[in-house]
Amino acid sequence: MIQIDRFGRTPIYEQIIDQIQRLIITGVLKAGDQLPSVRTLSQELSINPNTLQKAYSELERSGVCISVPGNGRFVTESAVAVIGESMEEQIEEMKRIGKELCVAGIPIERVLKAIQSAYGKESKV
């Protein structure tokens, strides 16, 4: 369900945040669903409970999930919307890279094709 890359440069807690958000926007996890507990998931992933707690806290801070002490942690109704908003930042990041590629002389057609392939529109025309 969740894969951890221990050798990459991205911190474990960030990887978890990204992957849980992905599970939500892909519909694997839906509003009201319970997230795995800190203890069980940390054991399953062989990571420290505190590391997972850090990821969960951040998800809760941004409004993706809500914790019910003594009960569990659940995906909020607004989770999909919240994550969607964070996608705006991704678009900004795209613009930033786009400007770099522009000054580097990379033709815009190459970039557009890359985007289209990511969207599964190969456009082999």
43 binds DNA (CB under 7 A): no
Considering only the stretches 1-9, 22-30, 36-44, 64-72, report the one whose residues sit in contact with a copy of itself under the rule CB under 8 A.
22-30
| Contact by Cβ (8 Å): 14, 57 | no
β pairing state of 72-75 and 65-68 = antiparallel
CB closer to a copy of itself, 72 vs 107: 107
Considering only the stretches 18-26, 46-54, 79-87, 116-124, report the one whose residues sit in contact with DNA under the rule CB under 7 A.
46-54
Considering only the stretches 9-17, 53-61, 63-71, 101-109, report the one whose residues sit in contact with a copy of itself under the rule CB under 8 A.
101-109
State both tokens at 77: 């109704």
| Residues paired with residue 73 on neighbouring β-strands, in sequence order | 67
What value, to the nearest 5°, has the Cα angle with vertex 112 and ends 107 and 118?
A: 135
Contacts 24+ apart (CB under 8 A), 43-50: 45/2, 45/4, 45/16, 47/4, 47/12
110 binds a copy of itself (CB under 8 A): yes
DSSP state at residue 61: H
Contacting residue, 1, 31, 81, 87, with a copy of itself by CB under 8 A: 87
Contacting residue, 30, 48, 87, 94, with DNA by CB under 7 A: 48
38 binds DNA (CB under 7 A): yes
